[in-house]
Structure 1
Amino acid sequence: MSEVTEEEKAAAARRQPGPRGGPPGAGLGMPTESAANFGASARRLIGLLRPQRAVILLATGFAVVGVVLTAIGPRVLGRATDLVFAGVVGQRLPAGTTKEQAVEGLRQSGHGQMADMVSGIPDLVPGQGMDMDAIARVLLIAVALYAGAGLLSFVQNRLVVVAVNRVIMDLRRAVEDKLHVLPLPYLDSQPRGELLSRVTNDIDNLAQSVQQTLGQMLTNIVMVVAMLAMMFSISPLLAVIVLVTIPVSIWLTKVIGTRSQRHFKEQWATTGQVNSIVEETFSGHELVKVFGRQEEVGATFEERNQALQRATFGAQFVSGVIMPVMMFVGNITYVVVAVVGGLRVADGALTLGSVTAFIQYSRQFTMPITQLASMANLVQSGVASAERVFEVLDAPEQRPDPQVPAVPDRSDGRVEFEDVSFSYSPHAPLIENLDLHVEPGQTVAIVGPTGAGKTTLVNLVLRFYELDGGRITLDGVDITQMSRAGLRSRVGMVLQDTWLFGGTIGENIAYGRPGAGRKDVRAAAEATFVDRFVHSLPDGYDTVLTDGASNISAGEKQLITIARAFLSDPDLLILDEATSSVDTRTEKLVQDAMRALRGQRTSFVIAHRLSTIRDADVILVMESGRIVEQGSHDYLLERDGAYARLFRAQFVAPMDDESDPLDPRALAASE
């Protein structure tokens, strides 16, 4: 049978893209992800807005009314221009004549073009200046129109913000729920910084992109339609000239957007890599300094940071070209419209007010197109982030719990392994055909060389990993027929690696049992000798643990985790090197407390120091995923087998022996 040690598994994991738990900087510098599937991701992103369609439709209605009011504004201002122009021209014509007589007089005097222009001016009265009352009324109407449009735009933007924030809140909730159902192998395969980047930076970028583009997109699309309608109502010829710019603008946007899409995907992928470096380096900064790897870590960071700089520059530069290109196209259109419009005014086909209104419409027509084009960088960036979030949401989930979970009739703590097989890789079996029967109340110690499968054995009991074959029962019930929450609520676990959250010492202990009171917390603390050092702290149980609980020692952290497990009052205890971080005297006290706690509970104790498990009811000796010996401490010493060799290696081996006493090869050589 082939053997895969934990070191080999770790080494294999480090060779995979995005490992978790490797040394600082491990797993970085991997190739950039492939280009985003923009169309599918964009459609899925739009689908997220469906629950808020009522709010979005209401916002669209306000946008339509607001744009209509805005569209009427230039026509009203054009009317004011015509009144002003009629007054300026009219006062230069002889009073007492009609408009027709004035036009005929201009023609007879050889000013035919001037006559054509005067004939096209409405409300012109020869000899009469500007009608200030009429101009004031028109301007008041324009002010009312623009004020109403501004108010509607404010309401529309507020509705869009409400809708987007609800969507992002639902998305965050979906990601949070997803993280709880992801299998442990998936989390083990992802760098922490990369996963954190997806659920924080990418969602924040997505929220910003959608919020900035959705409202403008609604307004701009309606604006394009409204401005186009108004332009055709004034002059179909000028409107056609403006329409020629649309396919040009679309073609330019597509060409530039295609180039920027790849850069935005690379930008956010590289951002996750940089975050991973920072997270891993700072979480293991002591090791980095101890081994003098600052320069190597700095070089790795610099490499990825420069890659991020290049990707960001490429994304922003390429997408930023859209705005000046569209402005250039708009300016060319403006020049053509001004020239042709001026000629039409000179011919009397259009009034000056109509041309000025058309120029405003053409500017307002090209402006939303330019804004839509300039939003391409935000859209590309947002869709790239959305795709990275969707990859988390689409990750395969752990096997669902049974619809009607089984519940053991009793809580004795009897555990049975029946022909259990498991491997991390299909090509490298670890545990094969394992049978084990643990009676209620027994303390089972598991010993063996590194990579023998000790921790894997207890992880299988908790269903952190699924079996390849066989089954495990708890009190006669197959654990796969129980809900994971129901199974794990019966198990208390203390690991070698402590985990404490930001909060008080009392809150960290109470984490073991929801609803636990201060009296229960103190009782658990006294049983595990946490109470002994808590009283030396200024705030006692209300002492707030800093980031990483750096304001208490490693041994004190371990004691708190043990107290937390004690408070949970489980049917089954799992202690994985639980006393490895405490001093010898504290270890003795904790062992006494554990012995009292284990009196009525089944316990699995993983230990490298054999002195800690002398009083175990059963000692299991594992090698290569198999139990090669089992029995009491005295019985196994009398057999003079694998356990006896381990015992002699720890307590009898010469002090100057440079070999690793737990190395299976050294043990085999000593036989």
Structure 2
Amino acid sequence: MAVPEVTHQDAVLPRLRILWSFARPHRGTLALALLLGLVAAAMGLATPMVTKWVLDALGESSSLKGPVSALLVLLVVGSAVSYWQWTLLGELGERVVLRARESMVRRFLRAAVPAVAHRPPGELVTRVTSDTVLLHEAATGALVGLINSTVMLLGTLVLMGMLDVVLLGATLAVVVVVGVLFAVLMPGIATAQQRSQEYLGRLGGTLEGTLRAIRTVKVSRAEDRLAERIVTDARTSAEHGVRAVRREALAWTIALSGIQLAIILVLGLGAWRVGEGLLGVSGLIAFLLYAFGLMEPISELSQNVTALQSGIAAAERIRETDSIPTEPTAAPHPSVRPSVHPSARPEARARPVPCP
């Protein structure tokens, strides 16, 4: 089972197309997971409105049976759908990783010897092991989560506008500023993580070669020189990793701080509008629930974009292995007998020796 090949036309397309090539064979499962995510998002978006219904019923001394039952249904259905989606995406991620690893292993073993010999073995091993781990979340959960979180964010803003347009304007101003800053920081994360993985691959290749020739290394007294080379690659990889971590931390801080600022604005401005009689208390509570709920889609959006950046860098490194030329595999010749297992040793049988 081979990973789909990338044509020259794909090479000039956005880097996201490279990542999508790993998820394309599983379009049906991804579509189902996306649908489940949209259903769960709808359950979450309806909850504040039903809560407003409960508060209005309390204010009017009406029956609470209907709104409370609706809240319970939203909770149960939303939880069941979310569990199904998470399980589905987790299993799909494992299949994508298995498919990529199987393709690379078969290509490496069928590759022309010169094409593999000039590459450090440790670097090839890194692409099969650590790079595919980054691919797990990015090629499945991040793609679906990116769409779900976007729909959740837009739906939340629309319902907030139905409650109060003025409060929505104050919230949107903060969200736009956060989005612009976040978009500026994201590309650097993928670049730093890609370079970190490249130096990690070089480290693995040098270390594996050194351990294979450990006798020669000791005879030539090259321990310190090779150790310094390996440690230098480790330090460089760590430096790029630290840059990526710092950018991620800054992006998350901006996102969470923006949400908190929006909530502060809603509290201050909303209290004033309630005092002026321009907004009901139940409407303000529902709006605050949506404002608190904004943290979920924005945080999920930030996490998914970060995972996509990491996955894109890993997908590019994995796709580089497609350029390794392979040799045609020939079927074993019929005259060649299978080798005898080492444990299958011939038995020594004693036979009588005739007496002279």
**CA deviation string 1:93-127 (max 9, x = no partner):** xxxxxxxxxxxxxxxxxxxxxxxxxxxxxx2xxxx
Tell me which amino acid in the other structure corresponds to 2:200. T
- Residue 68 of structure 1 corresponds to which residue in structure 2? 42
- Residue 359 of structure 1 corresponds to which residue in structure 2? 288
Distance 1:337 1:169 in 2: 48
Matched, 1:393 2:238: no
Matched, 1:151 2:80: yes
Pairwise CA distance, 1:383: 0.9
Distance 1:225 1:161 in 2: 26
**CA deviation string 1:538-585 (max 9, x = no partner):** xxxxxxxxxxxxxxxxxxxxxxxxxxxxxxxxxxxxxxxxxxxxxxxx
Tell me which amino acid in the other structure corresponds to 1:243. L
**Larger strand proportion of the pair:** 1
State the secondary structure of the residue aligned to 1:134. coil
Q: TM-score, normalising length from structure 1?
A: 0.47
Distance 1:329 1:38 in 2: 36
State the secondary structure of the residue aligned to 1:348. coil
Tell me which amino acid in the other structure corresponds to 2:18. R
Quick check: 1:82–1:352 contact (8 Å CA) kept in 2? Answer: no
- Residue 342 of structure 1 corresponds to which residue in structure 2? 271
The structure 1 residue matched to 2:67, chosen from 138, 160, 181, is 138
- Residue 114 of structure 2 corresponds to which residue in structure 1? 185
Matched, 1:294 2:223: yes
Pairwise CA distance, 1:341: 1.8
Quick check: 2:195–2:240 contact (8 Å CA) kept in 1? Answer: yes
Pairwise CA distance, 1:215: 4.7
CA RMSD of aligned residues (A): 2.9
Distance 1:160 1:304 in 2: 35
Superposition map of 1:268-307 within 5 A: 268-307=197-236
- Residue 51 of structure 2 corresponds to which residue in structure 1? 77
Quick check: 1:322–1:374 contact (8 Å CA) kept in 2? Answer: no
Distance 2:12 2:145 in 1: 21
Pairwise CA distance, 1:221: 2.3
Matched, 1:51 2:25: yes
**CA deviation string 1:255-310 (max 9, x = no partner):** 11122232111111011012112212222223323333222222222211211211
Matched, 1:234 2:163: yes
Superposition map of 1:284-433 within 5 A: 284-398=213-327
Superposition map of 1:118-133 within 5 A: 123=60, 131=61
Q: Which runs of 5+ in 2 are unaligned?
A: 1-10, 349-356
Pairwise CA distance, 1:332: 1.6
Distance 1:39 1:220, change over 3 A: farther
Tell me which amino acid in the other structure corresponds to 2:33. A
State the secondary structure of the residue aligned to 1:321. helix
State the secondary structure of the residue aligned to 1:263. helix
Distance 1:390 1:513 in 2: 38
Distance 1:38 1:71, change over 3 A: farther
Distance 2:137 2:305 in 1: 14
Distance 2:285 2:42 in 1: 18
Matched, 1:263 2:108: no
Pairwise CA distance, 1:338: 1.8
The structure 2 residue matched to 1:217, chosen from 126, 146, 155, is 146
Query: Which stretch shows the higher mean deviation, 324-333 or 225-234?
Result: 225-234
Distance 1:245 1:369, change over 3 A: same
Pairwise CA distance, 1:522: 4.1
Quick check: 2:142–2:305 contact (8 Å CA) kept in 1? Answer: no
Matched, 1:485 2:310: no
Superposition map of 1:438-449 within 5 A: none
Quick check: 2:189–2:310 contact (8 Å CA) kept in 1? Answer: no
**CA deviation string 1:149-182 (max 9, x = no partner):** 1111111112222332222222223223322442
- Residue 15 of structure 2 corresponds to which residue in structure 1? 41
- Residue 408 of structure 1 corresponds to which residue in structure 2? none
Distance 1:212 1:316 in 2: 21
Quick check: 2:23–2:140 contact (8 Å CA) kept in 1? Answer: no
Distance 2:91 2:238 in 1: 34
Quick check: 2:182–2:254 contact (8 Å CA) kept in 1? Answer: no
- Residue 5 of structure 2 corresponds to which residue in structure 1? none
Distance 1:209 1:247 in 2: 25
State the secondary structure of the residue aligned to 2:93. helix
**CA deviation string 1:48-84 (max 9, x = no partner):** 2222111111112211121111111111122333445
Superposition map of 1:605-616 within 5 A: none
**CA deviation string 1:24-46 (max 9, x = no partner):** xxxxxxxxxxxxx9963321211
Pairwise CA distance, 1:519: 11
State the secondary structure of the residue aligned to 1:368. helix
Tell me which amino acid in the other structure corresponds to 1:332. L
Distance 2:13 2:254 in 1: 24
Distance 1:330 1:186, change over 3 A: same
May I ask how many residue pairs the two structures share in their alignment? Answer: 338
Tell me which amino acid in the other structure corresponds to 2:31. L
Task: Point out the structure with max Rg over C-alpha.
Answer: 1
Quick check: 1:274–1:305 contact (8 Å CA) kept in 2? Answer: yes
Q: Which runs of 5+ in 1 are unaligned?
A: 1-36, 87-122, 124-130, 402-483, 492-511, 532-671
Tell me which amino acid in the other structure corresponds to 2:27. R
Distance 2:343 2:257 in 1: 74
Distance 1:153 1:346, change over 3 A: same
Quick check: 1:323–1:373 contact (8 Å CA) kept in 2? Answer: yes
Matched, 1:163 2:92: yes
Pairwise CA distance, 1:324: 0.5
**Larger helix proportion of the pair:** 2
Distance 1:53 1:374 in 2: 22
Distance 1:61 1:378, change over 3 A: closer
Tell me which amino acid in the other structure corresponds to 1:485. A
Pairwise CA distance, 1:190: 0.3
Pairwise CA distance, 1:214: 3.7
Tell me which amino acid in the other structure corresponds to 1:189. H
Quick check: 1:66–1:153 contact (8 Å CA) kept in 2? Answer: yes
Quick check: 1:260–1:380 contact (8 Å CA) kept in 2? Answer: yes
State the secondary structure of the residue aligned to 1:485. coil
Quick check: 1:316–1:377 contact (8 Å CA) kept in 2? Answer: no
Quick check: 2:163–2:283 contact (8 Å CA) kept in 1? Answer: yes
- Residue 624 of structure 1 corresponds to which residue in structure 2? none
Quick check: 1:319–1:376 contact (8 Å CA) kept in 2? Answer: no
Pairwise CA distance, 1:520: 11
Quick check: 2:185–2:251 contact (8 Å CA) kept in 1? Answer: yes
Distance 1:339 1:82, change over 3 A: farther
Superposition map of 1:582-597 within 5 A: none
